[in-house]
Amino acid sequence: MTERAIGRAFVSGDIDVEGDLGALFGVRAALREQVPMRQRLRFVYDFLRSPLKMNKQAVAAHYSRGDDFYLTFIDSRFRFYSQGLFQHPGETIEEASEHKLETMFAALDLQPGDRLLDIGGGWGGVTQYCGERGVHVTTLTLAEDSADHIRALIADKDLPGEVLLEDFLTHRPAQPYDHVVIYGVIEHLPDYRRFAAKAWDMLKPGGRLYLDGSAAIQKFSVSSFTREHIWGGRHTYMTLQDVIAEMLYHGFEVLDVTRETRDYELTMLEWAKRLDAAQADIVARWGEETYRAFRLFLWGGTHAFNANTLQAYHLVVERTADPGPRPSRLRRLVEFLAGWR
In degrees to the nearest 10, what's the CA dihedral of 70, 75, 77, 78? -70
Which residues 6+ apart lie within 8 Å of 148 measured at CB?
Answer: none
| Alpha-carbon distances, residue 85 vs 76, 116, 286, 299 (angstroms) | 15, 21, 30, 19
Q: Is pLDDT of 51 > 60?
A: yes
Mean pLDDT of all residues in 264-280 = 96
* CB-CB contact of 130 with 116 (8 Å): yes
Please report the pLDDT score of residue 327 as a whole number.
61
Q: Where are the beta strands (DSSP E) in the chain?
A: 115-119, 136-140, 161-164, 177-183, 203-215, 252-259, 311-319
Nearest to 84 by CA among 70, 96, 98, 71: 96
Task: Report pLDDT digits (tens) over 132-190.
Answer: 999 999 999 988 889 999 999 999 999 999 999 999 999 999 999 999 999 999 988 88
Please state, as a whole number, how many other Cβ atoms lie within 10 Å of the Cβ of residue 28.
Answer: 16
Comparing 17-21, 37-41, 219-223, 224-228, the range with the smallest average pLDDT is 37-41
* CB-CB contact of 272 with 299 (8 Å): yes
Rounded to two decimals, what is the model's pTM?
Answer: 0.87
CA 72/CA 104 separation, integer angstroms: 25
